[in-house]
Amino acid sequence: MTVKGTLIIIGSGIAGVAAARSARRTYPHIKITLVSEDPMGFYNRIALGALAVKKRSEVELMTLAPHLLENERIDLRLGNETSAIDTIHKTVHLQTGEQLAYDKLILATGAVPSRPPISGIESDGVHYLWSINDARRIAHQLHKTREMVVIGGGILGVEAALDLADAKKKVTLIEAANGLLEHHLTEDVSNALQQKLSNAGISVHTRELVSQIEHGDNALRVKTSTTVFLADLILVSAGVRPNISLATSAGLATQKGIVVNHRMETSIPDILACGNCVEQPQGGALLWNPAKAQGEIAGANAFHPTRIFVSTTYPIHLKNNTIPLFAMGDPHGIPDDAVCIQEKGAQYQKTLYVCTAGMIRYAVFLGDVSGHHQVEKMMRNQLEVPKNLPAQSSVSQMLQAAMQVADAGYLKKAWVCNVCGYTHEGDVAPGVCPVCNVGRDQFLAA
């Protein structure tokens, strides 16, 4: 049956673009309009740190071929902010006063930076790094900046600190929690990462809660309960939160994010949502791969919901190659009876926790991430660790034996970027790595 109708998608991040392209493949005859307040449309937000320190150009962040979406008959309304959604009359209201009627609507409004309750956080010289405009503002001031403070020791804060240190800036990283990447790393690995950052010239301070930012005579003053840090520029990287303002005002059910079912349908008929704006199943992290997967399912389900999103474990990598890091799983959910398999060298450590059923529950590699794609494959496909291995086997020996006995026929085909570690699932490698922008020739079959 030929499906006709109008689909509007709000948001031009990876979830919104994936939804638009998936809908076009599934419903060749519908009209698709993608609305975004960002005039630049889709670009690689993961590489914004590299843009801010001028290691990459804006052109390099544009990972989609020019005019690709237009060629797929997707009408782009960039630089158009949505002011309201009328769910009764099924219209989207733009700030310009224009009203767009829809049959189906997909919200892919993404996330916005969290703004911690710090006195003076709105001061001049305090920046975030979430959009291309944010990166431009930092890059514009970089030449006159010597000392920088990064507030937040999550993955985005650590990556930003490394990028700034690479740009020969004096960097201080302040984290309120007990350690860096607290939600992704065990305590010993967090401590080891902190030491590596210190070796890279970054001054790291954990258990320090910033209470105030104020202007001094010649610098910004960042106050904690115990110390005052000076900076020419401050970067706040205190996490992100789902952008649900449109959904809330439209009457959709929300918690921390927009509430959706496994078909990405919201509480109001004919409206779906996907990506970082939704309430993530099983507490899933705000990551590129699940956002893309949710977008593809939302697009395919827009008129006839047939596909289901299955939550799975996704890895994290540091995108800055100075310190290789890979982690997958929940370090705080390791079973008490799990066996720890370790391998350590002078500059690296690899750790796996294997439950009694033989599956890897948590993995972390620091300093050397070789073999991480094998771990990903085992964890995603719930493969068991070989039971006949010697008790003192290293991580590398265990992975080599495991992949030899695995039946590759039922595994998802995967490709790993040799530069940044990004993993792509599919029959062929992507033309361009969405994380580091290298070509297909840099992908290895996993």
* 310, part of any domain: no
Query: Does 435 fall in a domain?
Result: yes
* Same-domain pairing of 329 and 271: no
329 shares its domain with 257? no
Same domain, 175 and 250: no
Residue 308 domain-assigned (yes or no): no
* Rounded distance between C-alpha atoms, residue 45 and residue 13, angstroms: 8
Write down the pLDDT at residue 364. Answer: 96
Handedness of CA 48, 209, 279, 364 (dihedral sign): positive
Q: State the pLDDT at residue 117.
A: 93
Residues 144 and 265 in one domain: no
CB 64 within 8 A of CB 22: no
Question: Across the 446 residues of the chain, what is the mean pLDDT of every consecutive 10-residue run?
Answer: 94 95 96 96 89 91 85 95 97 97 97 93 93 94 93 94 94 96 94 96 96 89 93 93 96 96 96 93 65 93 94 82 90 91 91 89 93 84 74 74 55 66 73 69 68
Domain boundaries, position 365: 316-445
Q: Of 184, 208, 238, which closes a domain?
A: 238
Amino acid at residue number 110: G
Domain-embedded: residue 363: yes
Q: How far apart are CA 153 and CA 333, in angstroms?
A: 21
Helix (H) or strand (E) run with residue 191 in it? helix 187-199
What is the count of structural domains for the chain? 3
User: Is the same domain home to 23 and 86?
Assistant: yes
Alpha-carbon Rg for the chain, nearest whole angstrom, is: 23
Residue (of 303, 242, 229, 318) closest to 272 by Cα position: 303
**pLDDT for 343-397, tens place per residue?**
999 999 999 998 888 889 999 999 998 888 888 888 888 888 777 666 667 787 7
14 and 108: one domain?
Answer: yes
CA 235/CA 394 separation, integer angstroms: 40
> What Å distances lie between residue 410 and 372, 407, 414, CA to CA?
19, 6, 12
* pLDDT value, residue 385: 78
* Claim to verify: residue 274 and residue 222 sit in the same structural domain: no
Whether residue 268 is found in the same domain as residue 214:
no
**Burial annotation 70-109 (CB, 10 A radius, 16+ → b, else e):** eeeebebbeebebeebebeebbbebeeeeebebbbbbbbb
Same domain, 83 and 157: no
Same domain? 274 vs 169 = no
pLDDT digits (tens, 9 = 90+) for 112-151: 999 999 999 998 999 999 999 999 999 999 989 999 999 9
Q: Are residues 382 and 412 in the same domain?
A: yes
159 lies in some domain = yes
Q: According to the model, what pLDDT value does residue 410 have?
A: 43
Beta strands 99-101 and 91-94 are: antiparallel
Cα 59 to Cα 43: distance, rounded to the nearest angstrom: 9
Q: Is residue 119 part of a domain?
A: no
Residue 233 shares a structural domain with residue 245: no
Residue-averaged pLDDT of the chain: 89
Residue 118 in domain: no
Tokens standing for 329?
């799983």
On whether residue 120 sits in a domain, the answer given is no
Give residue 334's pLDDT.
Answer: 93
Task: Give the CATH number, domain containing residue 13.
Answer: 3.50.50.60
Query: How many Cβ atoms are within 10 Å of 428's Cβ, its own excluded?
Result: 10
How long is the chain? 446
